[in-house]
Structure 1
């Protein structure tokens, strides 16, 4: 039996208030116990209001390190860069003093950038919280069912960072591997929209991780996982 907990909310305002509160508690506890906190976030539209709520919350943000679960291989100022999104929404106000670790390094392509990015992440401890998203195809981070690198990214002995080239989405990607994302004290899956609940139920109903990579996180038993969902 897995240890997944589903939290359902009437709307995104209620979800974001509860989610921000849970995250702040985790970060504060980490800072109290270990002197530092490590938060992994995902990009896209869904978390933007959550990021704004976190940014307006007083916290010892200078002791918090933030990084992305994945990013498109684009310069950080590019329109579709997740780093740009995080810097403009989360790393504002109180959270402006947090440390950010980029998943971008200039290189010929994403594959050539991996070694430099891996070196940046090499000394990081267990994450305190990882926030995942989920696509309609069951992908999470940039672990897509369609990408040739999926088996490597899902391996238990995978390196922390790898490049992927999904055939169903634009841009090469830099992503944390399943193994590195699971090195966390708490996992969250952030879902908005009734269609995502349908995908979640489909993911829970079978076990083929390569068909729907999110299953690897939903069905594992090592790390507590909370799914926060609102229909709109």
Structure 2
């Protein structure tokens, strides 16, 4: 049984959502820094988080004490527009958060499967995480936890922090945080926008088969105090 209630925040405009989520994340980082001298932030890619990242970069945070990582990564060169690292570097790290330490996932010359050991070691250095910001696909995936994939079982139930994954669309090769890693976060946010994504979210709430909709593993996790930000 889920021991924490999901909090659903709804906003009447996207700019308000982006500004409010950025403020909330920034204050979480401030609190972690005040408590232990450092903070960690794990971010998602795609088009949805771009304006949120711009807002977050403008927040007054001691970024020199923040380590920024990724929820998942497409296995492409960081110069590619499809790269989540590229997104975070251009919209957050180059816009005001230059002092943050960035730890990416992509390793040139290695496949995602070959890079797992190195990425695991790098992310274990700042585990457990303070803040994780997730997105959700129209197929009910989150991070790179895709429906029906053979690696899903291990990523949902294993003790590793990350693993190689495969998407149904190009670029197929990915790296993803595991559910274990996501659940470590002191603060976990799901950022969704538009009526179509709301319908997916509501469908996820109506069932418990994680193989069909992996986001259910996050929604139903007993230890994840999830907050959903929607407009």
Normalised by the length of structure 1, the TM-score is: 0.95
Q: Deviation above 4 Å: which 4+ runs of structure 1? A: none
2:14 to 12, 15, 20: 12
User: In the alignment, what sits opposite 1:74?
Assistant: 76
Partner of 1:180: 181
- SS of 1:67 mapped into structure 2: strand
Equivalent position of 1:137 in the other structure:
139
Q: 1:108 to 1:59 in 2, by over 3 A?
A: closer
Alpha-carbon distance in 1 for matches of 2:175, 2:14: 28
Q: Report the counterpart of residue 219 of structure 2 in structure 1.
A: 218
Match of residue 191 from structure 2: 190
Structure 2: distance between partners of 1:117 and 1:216: 23
Aligned to 2:162: 161
2: distance between equivalents of 1:136 and 1:169? 16
Deviations 1:128-152 (A, max 9, x none): 1110000011000000003221111
Tell me if the contact between 2:134 and 2:188 (Cα under 8 Å) persists in the aligned partners: yes
Deviates more, 1:118-127 or 1:70-79: 118-127
Selected match of 2:91 from 89, 92, 102: 89
TM-score normalised by structure 2 residue count: 0.95
Number of the residue aligned with 1:125:
127
- In the other structure, the counterpart of 1:152 is 154
Residues 143-178 of structure 1 deviation map (CA, whole Å, 9 limit, x = unaligned): 0003221111111x3311110112345320011111
20, 25, 30: which is aligned to 1:23?
A: 25
How far 1:21 moved relative to its partner?
A: 1.2
Task: Show structure 2 runs of 5+ residues with no match.
Answer: none
| Counterpart-to-counterpart distance in 1, 2:115 and 2:221 | 30
Contact 1:191 1:227 in 2 (8 A): yes
Q: Secondary structure at the match of 2:96?
A: helix
Residues of 2 paired with 1:209 and 1:169: CA distance?
A: 23
Contact 1:139 1:145 in 2 (8 A): yes
Q: In structure 2, what is the Cα distance between the partners aligned to 1:208 and 1:70?
A: 22
Query: 2:30 is paired with a residue of what secondary structure?
Result: helix
Q: Secondary structure at the match of 1:93?
A: coil
Secondary structure, counterpart of 1:94 in structure 2: coil
- RMSD of the alignment, in Å? 1.3
Deviations 1:108-139 (A, max 9, x none): 42111212222211222321111000001100
User: In 2, are the aligned partners of 1:134 and 1:189 still within 8 Å (CA)?
Assistant: yes
- Count residues with an aligned counterpart: 229
The one-character-per-residue Cα deviations of 1:53-89 (angstroms, maximum 9, x if unpaired) are 1111221000011101000011211221010011000
Q: Identify unmatched segments of 5+ residues in structure 1.
A: none
